[in-house]
Amino acid sequence: MSEHSQVAASVVVPVYGCRECLRVLVDEVATVLSRTSRIFEIVLVDDGSPDNSWAEIRLLAEKYSFVRGIRFSRNFGQHAAIMAGLRASRGEVAVIMDCDMQDPPEVLLRFLAALEHAEVAIGVRGGKKSSIRVVESRLFNRVMRVLTGTVLDSRQGGVIGMTRRVIDNYCKINEVNHHLLYVLRWLGFPQVEVEYERMPRHGGQSSYNLRKRITHGLSGLLFESIRAFQLIASIGVIIALAGFLLAILVVFRTVVYGSLSGWPSVISIILVFSGATILLQAVVGGYVAKTFEQSRNRALFVISEETS
Protein backbone atom coordinates (compact mmCIF):
# COMPACT_ATOMS: atom_id res chain seq x y z
CA MET A 1 0.00 0.00 0.00
CA SER A 2 1.44 3.39 -0.97
CA GLU A 3 1.87 6.20 1.50
CA HIS A 4 -0.89 8.14 -0.30
CA SER A 5 -3.52 5.39 -0.42
CA GLN A 6 -4.39 5.64 3.28
CA VAL A 7 -5.57 9.24 2.89
CA ALA A 8 -8.27 9.86 0.32
CA ALA A 9 -8.36 13.66 0.40
CA SER A 10 -6.05 16.44 1.58
CA VAL A 11 -7.13 20.02 2.19
CA VAL A 12 -4.19 22.42 1.89
CA VAL A 13 -4.60 25.81 3.56
CA PRO A 14 -1.96 28.59 3.38
CA VAL A 15 -2.24 30.59 6.60
CA TYR A 16 -1.40 34.27 6.92
CA GLY A 17 -3.12 36.69 9.29
CA CYS A 18 -6.15 34.48 9.93
CA ARG A 19 -5.59 33.01 13.37
CA GLU A 20 -9.14 33.80 14.49
CA CYS A 21 -10.56 31.83 11.54
CA LEU A 22 -8.59 28.62 11.95
CA ARG A 23 -10.64 26.79 14.56
CA VAL A 24 -13.92 27.51 12.76
CA LEU A 25 -12.36 26.55 9.44
CA VAL A 26 -11.04 23.22 10.70
CA ASP A 27 -14.32 22.36 12.44
CA GLU A 28 -16.42 23.13 9.36
CA VAL A 29 -14.08 21.35 6.94
CA ALA A 30 -14.07 18.28 9.20
CA THR A 31 -17.87 18.34 9.45
CA VAL A 32 -18.23 18.50 5.67
CA LEU A 33 -15.65 15.81 4.85
CA SER A 34 -16.92 13.45 7.55
CA ARG A 35 -20.08 13.03 5.46
CA THR A 36 -18.07 11.39 2.70
CA SER A 37 -16.72 8.53 4.84
CA ARG A 38 -13.30 9.28 3.32
CA ILE A 39 -10.10 9.41 5.30
CA PHE A 40 -8.94 13.01 5.08
CA GLU A 41 -6.32 15.40 6.38
CA ILE A 42 -6.03 19.16 6.71
CA VAL A 43 -2.58 20.63 6.09
CA LEU A 44 -2.17 24.12 7.55
CA VAL A 45 0.92 26.01 6.35
CA ASP A 46 1.93 29.00 8.46
CA ASP A 47 3.52 31.41 5.97
CA GLY A 48 5.27 33.53 8.59
CA SER A 49 1.93 34.82 9.86
CA PRO A 50 2.41 37.90 12.08
CA ASP A 51 -0.48 37.03 14.44
CA ASN A 52 1.13 33.89 15.94
CA SER A 53 -1.13 31.55 13.97
CA TRP A 54 1.34 28.76 14.67
CA ALA A 55 0.23 28.55 18.29
CA GLU A 56 -3.34 27.91 17.15
CA ILE A 57 -2.20 25.42 14.52
CA ARG A 58 -0.29 23.43 17.15
CA LEU A 59 -3.36 23.33 19.40
CA LEU A 60 -5.51 22.10 16.52
CA ALA A 61 -2.93 19.45 15.58
CA GLU A 62 -2.89 18.23 19.18
CA LYS A 63 -6.68 18.09 19.29
CA TYR A 64 -7.31 16.49 15.89
CA SER A 65 -5.28 13.65 14.43
CA PHE A 66 -6.24 14.72 10.90
CA VAL A 67 -4.66 18.19 11.24
CA ARG A 68 -1.03 18.64 10.26
CA GLY A 69 0.91 21.86 10.62
CA ILE A 70 3.90 23.30 8.77
CA ARG A 71 5.63 26.49 9.83
CA PHE A 72 7.89 28.58 7.60
CA SER A 73 10.92 30.31 9.07
CA ARG A 74 9.58 33.55 7.57
CA ASN A 75 7.06 34.75 5.00
CA PHE A 76 7.79 33.13 1.62
CA GLY A 77 4.48 33.89 -0.07
CA GLN A 78 1.19 32.14 -0.71
CA HIS A 79 2.37 30.03 -3.62
CA ALA A 80 5.35 28.75 -1.67
CA ALA A 81 2.93 27.78 1.11
CA ILE A 82 0.75 25.97 -1.40
CA MET A 83 3.77 24.11 -2.75
CA ALA A 84 4.84 23.09 0.77
CA GLY A 85 1.35 21.89 1.58
CA LEU A 86 1.06 19.87 -1.62
CA ARG A 87 4.48 18.29 -1.15
CA ALA A 88 3.48 17.27 2.36
CA SER A 89 0.00 16.07 1.37
CA ARG A 90 -0.76 12.35 1.32
CA GLY A 91 -4.20 12.29 -0.28
CA GLU A 92 -5.17 10.79 -3.60
CA VAL A 93 -6.65 14.22 -4.30
CA ALA A 94 -5.94 17.61 -2.75
CA VAL A 95 -8.04 20.76 -2.55
CA ILE A 96 -6.43 24.14 -1.90
CA MET A 97 -8.46 26.81 -0.14
CA ASP A 98 -7.83 30.11 1.64
CA CYS A 99 -7.96 30.44 5.41
CA ASP A 100 -10.30 33.46 5.59
CA MET A 101 -13.56 31.46 5.22
CA GLN A 102 -14.62 33.37 2.12
CA ASP A 103 -14.68 30.04 0.31
CA PRO A 104 -17.38 28.03 2.14
CA PRO A 105 -16.22 24.53 3.18
CA GLU A 106 -19.45 23.11 1.72
CA VAL A 107 -17.99 23.50 -1.77
CA LEU A 108 -15.37 20.85 -0.97
CA LEU A 109 -17.94 18.17 -1.77
CA ARG A 110 -18.46 19.62 -5.24
CA PHE A 111 -14.72 19.73 -5.88
CA LEU A 112 -14.26 16.12 -4.74
CA ALA A 113 -17.10 15.10 -7.05
CA ALA A 114 -15.53 17.04 -9.95
CA LEU A 115 -12.17 15.33 -9.42
CA GLU A 116 -13.80 11.95 -10.02
CA HIS A 117 -13.94 12.74 -13.76
CA ALA A 118 -11.30 15.47 -14.19
CA GLU A 119 -7.69 15.96 -13.19
CA VAL A 120 -8.04 19.60 -12.12
CA ALA A 121 -11.02 21.51 -10.71
CA ILE A 122 -10.76 25.32 -10.81
CA GLY A 123 -13.02 27.45 -8.66
CA VAL A 124 -14.94 30.25 -10.35
CA ARG A 125 -15.90 32.75 -7.71
CA GLY A 126 -19.18 34.61 -7.64
CA GLY A 127 -20.46 37.06 -5.07
CA LYS A 128 -19.77 40.75 -4.81
CA LYS A 129 -16.29 42.20 -5.05
CA SER A 130 -15.21 45.77 -4.64
CA SER A 131 -15.23 47.77 -7.85
CA ILE A 132 -11.50 48.47 -7.44
CA ARG A 133 -10.66 44.76 -7.22
CA VAL A 134 -12.86 44.02 -10.26
CA VAL A 135 -11.11 46.68 -12.33
CA GLU A 136 -7.68 45.47 -11.18
CA SER A 137 -8.49 41.84 -12.05
CA ARG A 138 -9.88 42.68 -15.46
CA LEU A 139 -6.99 44.99 -16.30
CA PHE A 140 -4.42 42.42 -15.17
CA ASN A 141 -5.99 39.64 -17.23
CA ARG A 142 -6.21 41.79 -20.34
CA VAL A 143 -2.56 42.78 -20.02
CA MET A 144 -1.59 39.14 -19.52
CA ARG A 145 -3.65 38.14 -22.53
CA VAL A 146 -1.72 40.60 -24.71
CA LEU A 147 1.71 39.85 -23.28
CA THR A 148 1.49 36.06 -22.94
CA GLY A 149 -1.36 34.99 -25.21
CA THR A 150 -2.90 33.15 -22.25
CA VAL A 151 -6.56 33.80 -21.46
CA LEU A 152 -7.65 33.44 -17.84
CA ASP A 153 -11.00 34.22 -16.26
CA SER A 154 -10.52 36.94 -13.63
CA ARG A 155 -12.99 35.06 -11.41
CA GLN A 156 -10.85 31.92 -11.32
CA GLY A 157 -8.94 31.08 -8.18
CA GLY A 158 -9.76 30.55 -4.54
CA VAL A 159 -10.52 26.85 -4.25
CA ILE A 160 -8.53 24.58 -6.58
CA GLY A 161 -8.55 20.78 -6.61
CA MET A 162 -6.20 18.32 -8.28
CA THR A 163 -5.54 14.60 -8.43
CA ARG A 164 -2.39 12.90 -7.18
CA ARG A 165 -0.97 12.71 -10.69
CA VAL A 166 -1.26 16.49 -11.07
CA ILE A 167 0.09 17.08 -7.56
CA ASP A 168 3.19 14.99 -8.25
CA ASN A 169 3.89 16.85 -11.48
CA TYR A 170 3.17 20.25 -9.97
CA CYS A 171 5.59 19.57 -7.13
CA LYS A 172 8.40 19.07 -9.64
CA ILE A 173 8.21 22.79 -10.45
CA ASN A 174 11.12 24.53 -8.79
CA GLU A 175 10.87 27.96 -10.37
CA VAL A 176 10.82 30.92 -8.02
CA ASN A 177 7.74 33.16 -8.03
CA HIS A 178 5.70 30.78 -10.13
CA HIS A 179 1.97 31.30 -10.63
CA LEU A 180 -0.36 28.43 -9.71
CA LEU A 181 -2.96 28.91 -12.44
CA TYR A 182 -0.32 29.31 -15.15
CA VAL A 183 1.50 26.19 -13.96
CA LEU A 184 -1.74 24.20 -14.09
CA ARG A 185 -2.41 25.54 -17.59
CA TRP A 186 1.14 24.61 -18.63
CA LEU A 187 0.84 21.09 -17.22
CA GLY A 188 -2.01 20.50 -19.63
CA PHE A 189 -4.23 18.15 -17.62
CA PRO A 190 -8.02 18.29 -18.27
CA GLN A 191 -9.73 20.97 -16.21
CA VAL A 192 -13.31 21.64 -15.15
CA GLU A 193 -14.76 24.71 -13.49
CA VAL A 194 -16.77 24.72 -10.28
CA GLU A 195 -18.82 27.84 -9.66
CA TYR A 196 -19.66 28.98 -6.15
CA GLU A 197 -20.54 32.10 -4.24
CA ARG A 198 -17.92 33.71 -2.04
CA MET A 199 -18.80 34.72 1.50
CA PRO A 200 -17.68 37.75 3.56
CA ARG A 201 -14.37 37.34 5.36
CA HIS A 202 -14.76 35.65 8.73
CA GLY A 203 -11.94 37.73 10.16
CA GLY A 204 -8.68 39.47 9.43
CA GLN A 205 -7.81 41.54 6.39
CA SER A 206 -6.49 40.59 2.99
CA SER A 207 -2.69 40.71 2.81
CA TYR A 208 -2.86 41.30 -0.94
CA ASN A 209 -2.55 45.05 -1.26
CA LEU A 210 -2.05 46.73 -4.63
CA ARG A 211 1.75 46.48 -4.45
CA LYS A 212 1.65 42.74 -3.74
CA ARG A 213 -0.89 42.11 -6.49
CA ILE A 214 1.28 43.98 -9.01
CA THR A 215 4.39 42.08 -7.86
CA HIS A 216 2.53 38.79 -8.04
CA GLY A 217 1.23 39.62 -11.50
CA LEU A 218 4.69 40.50 -12.79
CA SER A 219 6.07 37.26 -11.34
CA GLY A 220 3.41 35.32 -13.18
CA LEU A 221 4.20 37.20 -16.37
CA LEU A 222 7.91 36.44 -16.17
CA PHE A 223 7.17 32.79 -15.37
CA GLU A 224 4.74 32.33 -18.20
CA SER A 225 6.44 33.78 -21.23
CA ILE A 226 9.21 35.89 -22.79
CA ARG A 227 6.56 37.40 -25.02
CA ALA A 228 6.57 40.61 -22.96
CA PHE A 229 10.23 41.14 -23.80
CA GLN A 230 9.60 40.39 -27.46
CA LEU A 231 6.63 42.75 -27.62
CA ILE A 232 8.33 45.68 -25.90
CA ALA A 233 11.51 45.09 -27.89
CA SER A 234 9.39 45.38 -31.05
CA ILE A 235 7.95 48.63 -29.74
CA GLY A 236 11.51 49.84 -29.12
CA VAL A 237 12.46 49.04 -32.72
CA ILE A 238 9.42 50.92 -34.03
CA ILE A 239 10.24 53.96 -31.88
CA ALA A 240 13.87 53.86 -33.02
CA LEU A 241 12.79 53.63 -36.66
CA ALA A 242 10.39 56.54 -36.19
CA GLY A 243 13.23 58.57 -34.64
CA PHE A 244 15.50 57.76 -37.59
CA LEU A 245 12.83 58.87 -40.06
CA LEU A 246 12.25 62.03 -38.04
CA ALA A 247 15.98 62.76 -38.12
CA ILE A 248 15.94 62.45 -41.91
CA LEU A 249 12.96 64.84 -42.03
CA VAL A 250 14.77 67.37 -39.84
CA VAL A 251 17.88 67.23 -42.05
CA PHE A 252 15.72 67.63 -45.14
CA ARG A 253 13.85 70.64 -43.76
CA THR A 254 17.13 72.19 -42.60
CA VAL A 255 18.64 71.87 -46.06
CA VAL A 256 15.54 73.16 -47.85
CA TYR A 257 14.24 75.80 -45.41
CA GLY A 258 17.24 76.59 -43.29
CA SER A 259 17.82 75.86 -39.60
CA LEU A 260 14.80 75.08 -37.44
CA SER A 261 14.06 76.48 -34.03
CA GLY A 262 12.23 74.57 -31.35
CA TRP A 263 14.32 73.30 -28.49
CA PRO A 264 11.19 72.10 -26.65
CA SER A 265 10.48 69.64 -29.43
CA VAL A 266 14.08 68.42 -29.32
CA ILE A 267 13.92 67.93 -25.57
CA SER A 268 10.58 66.12 -25.94
CA ILE A 269 12.11 63.72 -28.45
CA ILE A 270 15.06 63.09 -26.13
CA LEU A 271 12.69 62.38 -23.25
CA VAL A 272 10.61 59.98 -25.36
CA PHE A 273 13.67 58.02 -26.40
CA SER A 274 15.11 58.09 -22.90
CA GLY A 275 11.85 56.78 -21.52
CA ALA A 276 11.71 54.04 -24.13
CA THR A 277 15.29 53.05 -23.33
CA ILE A 278 14.62 52.89 -19.61
CA LEU A 279 11.48 50.85 -20.23
CA LEU A 280 13.34 48.34 -22.37
CA GLN A 281 16.14 48.10 -19.84
CA ALA A 282 13.60 47.51 -17.07
CA VAL A 283 12.00 44.63 -18.97
CA VAL A 284 15.35 43.04 -19.80
CA GLY A 285 16.42 43.60 -16.20
CA GLY A 286 13.33 41.78 -14.99
CA TYR A 287 14.24 38.68 -16.97
CA VAL A 288 17.88 38.93 -15.91
CA ALA A 289 16.82 39.23 -12.26
CA LYS A 290 14.57 36.18 -12.59
CA THR A 291 17.40 34.23 -14.23
CA PHE A 292 19.70 35.29 -11.39
CA GLU A 293 17.21 34.16 -8.76
CA GLN A 294 16.74 30.83 -10.48
CA SER A 295 20.49 30.30 -10.96
CA ARG A 296 21.05 30.53 -7.20
CA ASN A 297 18.96 27.36 -6.93
CA ARG A 298 17.79 28.18 -3.44
CA ALA A 299 14.93 26.35 -1.78
CA LEU A 300 11.47 27.77 -2.48
CA PHE A 301 10.84 27.87 1.27
CA VAL A 302 12.38 26.95 4.60
CA ILE A 303 10.40 24.92 7.13
CA SER A 304 11.27 25.69 10.73
CA GLU A 305 8.79 23.38 12.45
CA GLU A 306 6.19 20.71 11.75
CA THR A 307 3.60 18.98 13.87
CA SER A 308 3.80 15.21 14.17
Q: Which helix (H) or strand (E) holds 157?
A: strand 156-163
Nearest to 174 by CA among 165, 185, 166, 183: 183
Question: pLDDT per position in the chain (308 positions), as tens?
Answer: 344 448 999 999 999 998 999 999 999 999 999 999 889 999 999 999 999 999 999 999 999 999 999 999 999 988 899 999 999 999 999 999 999 888 999 999 999 999 999 999 999 877 655 556 566 666 666 666 665 556 566 667 789 999 999 999 999 988 777 778 888 988 999 999 999 988 765 555 555 555 555 555 555 555 555 556 656 666 666 766 676 676 676 667 667 766 555 654 675 577 567 667 766 776 777 677 677 666 767 788 899 999 97
In our burial notation (b when 16+ CB lie closer than 10 A, e otherwise), range 248-263 reads: eeeeeeeeeeeeeeee
Measured from the Cβ of residue 194, the count of other Cβ atoms closer than 10 Å reads 20
User: Cα–Cα distance between 108 and 142 in angstroms, integer?
Assistant: 30
- pLDDT attached to residue 179: 79
Question: Can you say whether residue 251 is alpha, beta or left, with left for phi > 0 and alpha for psi between -120 and 50 degrees?
Answer: alpha
Compute the radius of gyration of the chain from its Cα atoms.
25
User: Cα–Cα distance between 115 and 93 in angstroms, integer?
Assistant: 8
128 neighbors 44 (Cβ within 8 angstroms): no
Q: Full-prediction pTM beyond 0.75?
A: no
Q: Which helix (H) or strand (E) holds 146?
A: helix 131-148
Dihedral sign computed on CA atoms, order 217, 83, 150, 224:
positive
Q: How far is CA 28 from CA 96, 126, 178, in A?
A: 15, 21, 30
